[in-house]
Structure 1
Amino acid sequence: MDEQRSTVTIPVRDAQLPADLMLPAEPVGVVLFAHGSGSSRHSPRNVAVARTLTGRGLATVLVDLLTPAEDEVDTRTAELRFDIGMLASRLAGIVDWLAAERPAGDVPIGLFGASTGAAAALVAAASRAERVGAVVSRGGRPDLAGAALAQVRTPTLLLVGGLDEEVITLNERALTELGDVGELWVVPGATHLFEEPGALDQVAEHAGAWFTTHLARTTAAPRRS
């Protein structure tokens, strides 16, 4: 499938954030990625998942939620990368940008979060329920979403490695908070980073099916005034 790749700078309220866009010829949706602490938009795992989604006709946006200057400072302090509220606010701002600027066209929006990025994605989904049509968490920490978890009304898929026992427990608890909108899928034999042969392929396939199914039921929401 033909695709266009570009790097853009996305303005949010208090920052200019670098992002990589992959656009298939006729996108049916766009998925915004939120990476985990200590990672970046160049995460090989998220890039691999993004390529699979693009092959399904989904545009993808891999973004750094910290500016280069913030990331340099945070390498020493590790404060901002765990500030779920701030990260979620920036994600919500990018969702608004996608809805207003429409780099992928007038298509529904999904969120893909890994590790702590999953918590930020869930908080953002709760605050932008009219714009976010689906969420996928990979090895996520949905517990860090706090009270926002119970406010999520967006179909949410929790993907966890079968050997990642502590995170399985956290996701099972989160599932009770999500209720009918949540679904948990355990990838057998996989650890937290899904480094085992074929494990990440399963993540990408389940994520792709989830997004194409649920975003197909969503129409792009009207712009905010």
Structure 2
Amino acid sequence: MTTLLLRRDGGICRQHGPPCRPCIEECQEPSVRTDYGWGMSQPYTTHDVSIGSLELPGRLVRPPDCNGLVVFAHGSGSSRLSPRNAHVAMHLNDHGFATLLFDLLSDQEAEDRRNVFDIPLLGNRVLEALRWVRRQPDLAALRIGIFGASTGAAAALVAAAGATGDVQAVVSRGGRPDLAGEALRDVEAPTLLIVGGRDDDVLELNREAQRQMRCLTRLVVVPGATHLFEEPGALDEAVAAAANWFARYLTGQVDDPGKLSRRSPPT
């Protein structure tokens, strides 16, 4: 378990690197001392793990009395250290979910840009992570969700289609579900598509992908948000929608049902 000195604005520490937040020396506000793998507000169990035959590095975080496990699939050009995914993971931990962030590619594979968009390859890596989870005695009984961003959303859906029964929910943030191709029709897990209202092209691609899917889906449009959800409050709104989706389909509960009903319905 790692102890970090953090500041409250949630930025990225250039000294220590993502996903840690800036250290106290760079902060103008009072420090917040926390005990957690990435600086959460309470002690959670953290483990550095290796996934699959390539032993891809990952970080597993488990809160006490966890309600389920969310596996993350990062987007193109990113890694397990994605600051936005780390932000989402921290909030899901606070909602009682264990999280697993891992690299979909080895360092050598990531040097070839073709691999970044090889959706069957990335989907298989997510499947390897799911199989790894089922082999862990303390994780095997947990209900599983997948959170995918950008191209990682397509990988998440390919994995969900290939692991019917093992995945209970999928969330896509600013994702490219269209890249999952024919696998879209085979996804059975309830799927939430979160898109920025100003991300016009990706929004249309999500609407088209939703029309192809046969499972329960919902499209959430975050007003004023662009592709990376960089606008104030935009990422937190996406996190709230994701947390409620996982609460509903991993635990059968919703923290605030209004958070779902106020969003746009499927189109």
Shared fold per TM-score greater than 0.5? yes
Give the Cα–Cα distance (whole angstroms) in 1 for the partners of residues 137 and 238 of structure 2.
27
Structure 1 runs of 4+ with >4 Å offset: none
Give the Cα–Cα distance (whole angstroms) in 1 for the partners of residues 205 and 148 of structure 2.
15
Residue aligned with 2:226, SS: coil
Q: What does residue 79 of structure 2 align with?
A: 40
Q: Deviations 1:84-111 (Å, cap 9, x if unpaired)?
A: 0011011111101101214545211110
Q: What does residue 214 of structure 1 align with?
A: 249
1:61 aligns with one of 87, 91, 100 = 100
Q: What does residue 51 of structure 2 align with?
A: 10
Asked whether the equivalents of residues 31 and 59 of structure 1 are also in contact (C-alpha less than 8 Å), the reply is yes
- The answer to whether 1:195 aligns with 2:236 is no
Asked whether the equivalents of residues 197 and 225 of structure 2 are also in contact (C-alpha less than 8 Å), the reply is yes
Deviation at 1:18, TM superposition (A): 0.4
Structure of greater Rg: 2
Give the number of equivalent residue pairs: 211
2:163 aligns with one of 111, 125, 128 = 128
Give the alignment of 1:1-225 within 5 angstroms: 1-12=42-53, 15-71=54-110, 73-74=111-112, 78-104=113-139, 106-217=141-252
Seq. identity, %: 50
Residue aligned with 2:192, SS: strand
Aligned-pair Cα RMSD in Å: 1.2
Give the Cα–Cα distance (whole angstroms) in 2 for the partners of residues 195 and 151 of structure 1.
32
Deviation at 1:180, TM superposition (A): 4.6
Residue aligned with 1:201, SS: helix
Asked whether the equivalents of residues 187 and 215 of structure 2 are also in contact (C-alpha less than 8 Å), the reply is no
Q: Where in structure 2 are there 5+ consecutive unaligned residues?
A: 1-41, 253-267
Deviation at 1:6, TM superposition (A): 2.1
Give the Cα–Cα distance (whole angstroms) in 1 for the partners of residues 87 and 199 of structure 2.
21
- TM score, norm. by length of structure 2: 0.77
Give the Cα–Cα distance (whole angstroms) in 2 for the partners of residues 104 and 162 of structure 1.
36
Asked whether the equivalents of residues 74 and 80 of structure 2 are also in contact (C-alpha less than 8 Å), the reply is yes
Deviation at 1:2, TM superposition (A): 2.9
Q: Where in structure 1 are there 5+ consecutive unaligned residues?
A: 218-225
Deviation at 1:69, TM superposition (A): 2.4
**Structure of greater relative contact order (alpha carbons < 8 Å, 6+ residues apart):** 1
Give the Cα–Cα distance (whole angstroms) in 1 for the partners of residues 209 and 64 of structure 2.
37
Asked whether the equivalents of residues 143 and 170 of structure 1 are also in contact (C-alpha less than 8 Å), the reply is yes
Q: Deviations 1:99-150 (Å, cap 9, x if unpaired)?
A: 1214545211110000000000001000101100000000000110000001
- TM score, norm. by length of structure 1: 0.90
Q: What does residue 10 of structure 2 align with?
A: none
Give the Cα–Cα distance (whole angstroms) in 2 for the partners of residues 177 and 58 of structure 1.
30
Q: Deviations 1:8-45 (Å, cap 9, x if unpaired)?
A: 11124xx2110011110111100000000001111110
Residue aligned with 1:183, SS: strand
Asked whether the equivalents of residues 187 and 214 of structure 2 are also in contact (C-alpha less than 8 Å), the reply is no
Q: Which structure shows the higher helix fraction?
A: 1
